[in-house]
A and B are shown apart, each in its own frame.
Chain A
């Protein structure tokens, strides 16, 4: 029962262009969403989050969009830089009932020079 899905295992983008990573969820109780970035041999690091009361949150080059009706969120990185090459995990939770954070399978982003 995969409640959070990242259907693209990998994505390749040219440096300077926009990277768009997608995430779908099935649990309508989810109301808090996060993106984590992971380099090889390191733990995930927090990137950006969004609450269900918003449909957009921006932090520098990173913007997360939430479409509640479609149960879909996306992470936009613009402009993409070589240091952005990593695995990106989408995660979701339901604050009511303090349910655990559920992660997607991850998308490996490669930024080409």
Chain B
């Protein structure tokens, strides 16, 4: 069964450093999402791409976070500089269609620890 691939699985960094996460969605999925999940809370949408275009980044802290999906396939999420409060699980998901309310397929996530 096709899966959403994410790397790395774990990342430890010091505050003020730069970090980057990579995601490869299920082939053919038009929509890609980056979620952040803080322990004890539900996933929160950071950014949504439809093909290569951003359709929702209202919750993305744009002063330090950036995301791109240049060819409409894989995507990179970057944080620069990282802060202690960024420690969380970063989840990538994809869906076949172009709406935000379909069944999402999630990757295994990147667990970020900022020291």
Contact = CB atoms under 8 A, between A and B. Distances in A.
Report if A and B associate in a common complex: yes
Contact of B99 (A36, A98, A105): A98
Interface in B1-46: 4, 6, 9, 40-45
Interface in B79-102: 91, 93, 99-101
By secondary structure, the A interface counts as: loop
B61 to A, nearest CB: 17
A79 B67 CA distance: 43
A7 B108 CA distance: 26
B49 interface: no
Given A93-B100, A101-B104, A44 B43 contact: yes
Nearest to A91: B42
A100 B42 contact: no
Interface string A9-46: 10000000000000000000000101010000111111
A41, A44, A95 pick with most chain B CB within 10 angstroms = A44
Contacts of B4: 43
A99 interface: yes
Interface string A35-74: 0100001111110010000000000000000000000000
B106 A100 contact: no
B104 A100 contact: no
A43 B100 contact: no
- Top 10 nearest A-B pairs by Cβ distance? A103-B42, A43-B106, A93-B101, A98-B99, A100-B100, A44-B106, A103-B43, A46-B103, A98-B100, A43-B108
Interface of A: 4, 6, 9, 32, 34, 36, 41-46, 49, 89, 91, 93-95, 98-101, 103-106
